[in-house]
Amino acid sequence: MSKALNELPYDFGGALDYLRKYRKLTNQGLSDLSFLSVEYISKLQNNHIKAPSVQTVIALCIAMSLQFQLSDELLKRSGRSLRSLSTDEDMLYNLMIMSSSDYTVEECNQILLGNNLPPLTIKKDSSI
């Protein structure tokens, strides 16, 4: 993991692409796990989307089962942070990325919906 942290590109798109490859996932594989379209993931990796939502970044971290430090770095590169933990939603997101290998995006969505919060992503029949 320290090698990944040292080699992680500074831009969000580059970091996402690096981490996807680090986890040995294709764009299609990441799409299947995150419920984000392949096209959307490609746009993120090419920095065509400048400010992905925190929900999108959390979904990607969970889908890739990233260790907390890598998730935190990807969040930083997206311009997001969960450091304040000022809301129940932020606290749940933090718990989810701390144990990302224990949950799927679908399971996290169920937890969020059970707490009357919006899901991270929606299972795709349509693209985001």
Give the tens place of pLDDT for each residue, 34-76: 999 999 999 999 999 988 999 999 999 999 999 999 999 999 9
Residue-wise pLDDT for 99-117, tens only, equals: 888 899 999 999 999 999 9
Average pLDDT, the chain: 90
pLDDT score at 57:
96
Whole-model pTM: value is 0.90
- Residue 127, classified by CB atoms within 10 Å of its CB into exposed (0-12), middle (13-18) or buried (19+), is exposed
Residue-wise pLDDT for 14-24, tens only, equals: 999 999 999 99
Is the distance from CB of 85 to CB of 94 less than 8 angstroms? Answer: yes
